[in-house]
């Protein structure tokens, strides 16, 4: 068929216009490209990669022989990738923004279908698959946090860690990692240091509201995070809004001990902006007199991406809580008339930029504002008083897990003017820069700088002295691989802290595949090693109540010389660890074991009030008691000094694997051998008299004796976790097992005669326990679901240290309501 000249001209114009339009659209299209690998770094070919926008597939690609993929889209907006490949779990990436003509790189790491591998940041400072790092990391995700009101039980579900909660829900909770002290961990919330000045952090009132992930690094890592990362790092992350419309989620529950919780979340994304806001309220009466607890938490996460290479983000967390402090109820048969309140604010603002294909930069400002207020409202006792007006509890019998017992009445409250109150203030402003440069696909360099301005005080105390600390950190590291089999990390940090001066902290680690992942019975063998040094900044309380400062200002120069007491210095840690990871049955089962050896030096010990007056010669008994009352009224229950050293070696073992598509099992066991090498308690005999004894057994009242174990660090801990999912139903079973541990009842000089008859031997004083928790949820409709959780099914009330009473079995049940969708679809 032949067309006339005018028709041919029109057709030529249409074809030319279509061609030019297609070329223009392609020029304005966003390009998404990257490489698909497995956790070991091996390239994955024939992986199906689809690009999703507003619930629809807008582009797709298949990875080539080198694992690479590329796709274009002419639409600007928010996208995510979905990747699937044979023998791997389907992967969904976080949502990202792409504008026209943006070049977006997304390198994708596939996880084995049966095992659980995660991308971690705490090991190298940049996102890295767990299988490529030599350090020990564990990730707690939504499966572990979803039904929890706090992190306490979830933190028990990992090797090398031990959680101590001194009471019931909301009570002070400490985390011990691989034998280290509880204030030797760096706690990060969206990259911001959330701890008090000096590292102390109370997990008791921390709500899971606004938290989607907790990454726990076991081992010192001052080279990346500065002082206080001496035993471990816990990095908490806030979720982001993902849906292209506002999604509203509400859940509320009610349970035993008049416990209730309500939580409301609003989240979404529009064009370049994403947003999330969440608020929760939790309250409970607990199971003891004067032990009510409530906490209100608000969190927000707001991000703006002007283009595909730049992201500006701000997060905020604010928590207000109040709890009764009944104290060691089992020692008195009475609850103290005390309360503690906290107001904690954490703010993070960051600018992240992919400056070039190889150069990535982050600048972050972080603000921490913490207030802790403690009130002792009145003197409590059974009606028994001593000559100084001090009150005593009821007559009780105290029995330790070691079988020893004592009976009597213990000193409960000193005489004095009530109410007594003190407030601890910790403020911190930090500016952090980190840049990483990819020299080759196998070498990445990192540099960083951190500036901190810390301010603290303790108003209401005669020891009130505002403190300001200015700290600087300079850090550099390199990590990479050799032929996809040997992965390494080398780094170091130069720290200058105004309280203790300058310190250097190196780190090195590697991961070697002796057998690359493959099919078969033995399907991958990995050898691990890690080394690191770290220091800890003394806490604000340690600085205020330094034994050296107390003696120097109260005429105790002779005691300083005799006992060689010096100004506070930075406690330090050094670790060596090595291990093996073995996969079985085509990575359906993974076995890991690690050996670690930690040395802890210049550790801080505490001298109790009954010993402090004796360090000042020439005081009468009345003057000693008056001084003890004065110190207690000002919050100085103990004074601090650097006098302890100990080592902790042990073995961590975990096994995990899946059964079918819906069952995942994970278990672990840790053996810890801790031994005190030096203790102030053993070196003060000449001045303070002999160490107290129980039937000839020496007792460390405030600190463990030389040759003994550190307090509250059991030699045997373990856990077992099982999850089941099928269509709309999911269930979680968690169990933690702990052996007996050394401790003190701290009742030195606390009987009716001011003597030590209420002391018990330290060895195996705290009870071992088994804790069993069960949770389940069922989605009735797309918009409504039900859930329930039962804690402490074994009804064990010896989970807390001796003297404290743990919460008995508790059950909660609730309802979820959802408008919109919780994921971008």
Q: pLDDT for 806-823, tens place per residue?
A: 999 999 999 999 987 544
The confidence score (pLDDT) of residue 450 equals 95
pLDDT digits (tens, 9 = 90+) for 742-786: 999 999 989 999 899 999 999 999 999 999 999 999 999 989 999
The confidence score (pLDDT) of residue 593 equals 97
**Cα–Cα distance between 154 and 144 in angstroms, integer?**
6
For residue 156, what pLDDT band results from cuts at 50, 70 and 90? very high
Instruction: With CA atoms as reference, report the closest residue to 536 among 494, 490, 566, 503.
Output: 503
Classify strands 273-284 and 769-781 as parallel, antiparallel or unpaired: unpaired
Check pLDDT > 60 for residue 687.
no
pLDDT digits (tens, 9 = 90+) for 18-50: 333 334 334 456 888 989 988 888 889 898 999
Determine the average pLDDT of the residues in 643-656.
95
DSSP bridge partners of 34:
69
Determine the average pLDDT of the residues in 96-117.
81
The confidence score (pLDDT) of residue 821 equals 54
Determine the average pLDDT of the residues in 589-617.
85
Of the listed ranges 382-391, 549-558, 699-708, the least confidently predicted one is 549-558
Determine the average pLDDT of the residues in 409-427.
91
Check pLDDT > 50 for residue 12.
no
The confidence score (pLDDT) of residue 608 equals 72
**Cα–Cα distance between 210 and 733 in angstroms, integer?**
23
Check pLDDT > 60 for residue 800.
yes
Check pLDDT > 90 for residue 346.
yes
615 phi, psi to nearest 5 deg: -75, -10
Contact between 643 and 676 (Cβ < 8 Å): no
Q: Which residue is listed with tokens 């582009």?
A: 59
The confidence score (pLDDT) of residue 267 equals 95
Determine the average pLDDT of the residues in 96-124.
82
Q: Which residue is listed with tokens 């899946």?
A: 658
Which residues lie closer than 8 Å to 710 by C-beta, 6 or more apart?
179, 646, 648, 674, 676, 704, 742
Q: Which residue is listed with tokens 């044979």?
A: 86
The confidence score (pLDDT) of residue 825 equals 38
The confidence score (pLDDT) of residue 640 equals 86
Determine the average pLDDT of the residues in 408-424.
91
Check pLDDT > 80 for residue 712.
yes
- With pLDDT > 90 as the criterion, what percentage of the chain qualifies? 62
Burial of 553 (0-12, 13-18, 19+ CB in 10 A): exposed
Check pLDDT > 60 for residue 338.
yes
**Cα–Cα distance between 720 and 731 in angstroms, integer?**
14
- With pLDDT > 70 as the criterion, what percentage of the chain qualifies? 92
Check pLDDT > 50 for residue 16.
no
For residue 1, what pLDDT band results from cuts at 50, 70 and 90? very low
Of 454 and 690, more confident? 454
Determine the average pLDDT of the residues in 247-262.
95
**Cα–Cα distance between 784 and 121 in angstroms, integer?**
35
Mean pLDDT for the chain overall: 88
For residue 533, what pLDDT band results from cuts at 50, 70 and 90? very high
The confidence score (pLDDT) of residue 679 equals 86
The confidence score (pLDDT) of residue 326 equals 96
Of 436 and 122, more confident? 436
Check pLDDT > 80 for residue 441.
yes
Of 134 and 284, more confident? 284
**Cα–Cα distance between 729 and 779 in angstroms, integer?**
7
């Amino acid at each position: 068929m032949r067309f006339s000249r005018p028709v041919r001209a029109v057709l030529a114009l249409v074809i030319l216009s279509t061609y030019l339009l297609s070329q223009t659209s392609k020029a304005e299209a966003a390009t998404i490209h990257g490489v698909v690998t497995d956790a070991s770094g091996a390239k994955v070919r024939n992986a199906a990669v689809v690009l999703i926008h507003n619930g629809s597939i807008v582009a797709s690609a298949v990875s080539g022989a080198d694992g690479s993929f590329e796709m274009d889209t002419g639409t600007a907006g928010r996208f995510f990738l979905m990747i699937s490949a044979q023998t791997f779990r389907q992967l969904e990436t976080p949502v990202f923004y792409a504008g026209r003509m943006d070049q977006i790189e997304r390198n994708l790491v596939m996880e084995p279908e049966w095992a659980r591998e995660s991308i971690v940041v705490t090991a190298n400072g940049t996102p890295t698959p767990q299988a490529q790092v030599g350090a020990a990391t564990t990730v707690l995700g939504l499966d572990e946090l979803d039904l929890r009101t706090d992190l306490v039980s979830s933190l028990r579900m990992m090797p090398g860690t031990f959680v101590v909660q001194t009471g019931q829900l909301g009570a002070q909770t400490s985390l011990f990692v691989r034998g280290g002290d509880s204030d030797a961990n760096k706690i990060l919330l969206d990259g911001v240091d959330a701890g008090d000045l000096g590292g102390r952090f109370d997990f008791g009132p921390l709500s899971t509201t606004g938290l989607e992930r907790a990454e726990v690094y076991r081992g010192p890592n001052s080279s990346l995070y500065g002082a206080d990362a001496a035993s471990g790092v816990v990095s908490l992350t806030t979720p982001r809004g993902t849906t292209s419309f506002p999604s509203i989620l509400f859940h509320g529950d009610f349970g035993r001990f008049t416990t209730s919780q309500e939580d409301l979340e609003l989240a979404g994304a529009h064009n370049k902006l994403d947003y999330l806001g969440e608020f929760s309220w939790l309250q409970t009466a607990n199971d003891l007199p004067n032990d009510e607890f409530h906490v209100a938490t608000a969190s927000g996460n707001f991000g703006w991406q002007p283009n595909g290479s730049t992201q500006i983000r701000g997060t905020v967390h604010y928590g207000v809580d109040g709890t009764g402090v009944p104290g060691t109820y089992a020692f008195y048969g009475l609850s103290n008339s005390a309360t503690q309140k906290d107001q904690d604010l954490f703010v993070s603002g960051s600018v992240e930029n992919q400056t070039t294909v190889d150069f990535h930069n982050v600048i972050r400002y972080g603000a921490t504002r913490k207030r802790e207020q403690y009130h002792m409202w009145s003197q409590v006792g059974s009606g028994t008083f001593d000559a100084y007006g001090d009150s005593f509890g009821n007559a009780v019998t105290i029995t330790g897990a070691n079988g020893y017992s004592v009976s009597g009445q213990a000193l409960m409250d000193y005489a004095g003017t009530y109410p007594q109150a003190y407030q601890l203030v910790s403020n911190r402003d930090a500016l952090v820069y980190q840049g990483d440069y990819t020299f080759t696909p196998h070498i990445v360099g990192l540099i960083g700088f951190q500036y901190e301005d810390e301010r603290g005080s303790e108003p209401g105390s005669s020891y009130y002295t505002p403190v300001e600390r200015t700290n600087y950190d300079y850090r550099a590291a390199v990590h990479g691989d050799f032929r996809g089999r040997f992965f390494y990390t080398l780094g170091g940090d130069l720290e200058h802290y105004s309280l203790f001066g300058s310190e250097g902290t190196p780190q090195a680690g590697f991961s070697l595949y002796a057998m690359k992942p493959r099919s078969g019975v033995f399907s991958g063998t990995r050898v691990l090693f890690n080394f690191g040094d770290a220091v800890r900044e003394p806490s604000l309380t340690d600085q205020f109540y330094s034994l050296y400062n107390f003696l120097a200002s109260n005429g105790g120069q002779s005691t300083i010389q005799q006992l060689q007491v010096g100004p506070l210095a930075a406690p330090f840690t050094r670790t060596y660890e090595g291990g093996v990871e073995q996969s079985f049955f085509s990575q359906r089962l993974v076995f890991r074991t690690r050996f670690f050896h930690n040395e802890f030096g210049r550790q801080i010990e505490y001298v109790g009030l009954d010993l402090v007056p004796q360090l000042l010669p020439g005081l009468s008994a009345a003057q000693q008691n008056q001084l003890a009352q004065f110190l207690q009224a000002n919050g100085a229950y103990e004074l601090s000094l650097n006098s302890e050293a100990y080592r902790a070696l042990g073995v961590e073992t975990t096994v995990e694997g899946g059964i079918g598509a819906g069952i995942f099992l994970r278990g672990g066991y840790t053996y810890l051998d801790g031994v005190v090498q030096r203790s102030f308690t053993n070196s003060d005999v000449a001045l303070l008299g002999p160490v107290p004894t129980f039937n000839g057994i020496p007792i460390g009242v405030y600190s463990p004796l030389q040759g003994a174990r550190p307090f509250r660090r059991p030699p045997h801990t373990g856990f077992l976790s099982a999850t089941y999912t099928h269509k709309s139903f999911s269930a979680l079973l968690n169990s933690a097992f702990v052996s007996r541990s050394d401790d003190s009842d701290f009742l030195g000089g606390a009987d009716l005669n001011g003597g030590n008859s209420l002391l018990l031997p330290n060895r195996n004083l705290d009870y071992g326990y088994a804790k069993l928790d069960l949770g389940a949820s069922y989605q009735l409709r797309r918009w409504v679901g039900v859930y329930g959780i039962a804690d402490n099914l074994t009804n064990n009330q010896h989970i807390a240290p001796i003297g404290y009473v743990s919460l008995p079995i508790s059950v909660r049940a609730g309802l979820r309501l959802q408008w919109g969708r919780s994921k971008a679809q």
